[in-house]
Amino acid sequence: MRELILERRSVAQAARRYGKHRTTIWRWKRNLIDS
Mean pLDDT for the stretch of residues 19-34: 76
Mean pLDDT for the stretch of residues 22-31: 77
DSSP string, 2-25: HHHHHHHHHHHHHHHHTTT-HHHH
Cβ atoms 32, 11 nearer than 8 A: yes
Which pLDDT belongs to residue 25? 72
Grade residue 35 by pLDDT with cuts at 50, 70 and 90: low
**C-alpha dihedral sign at 23, 16, 13, 5:** negative
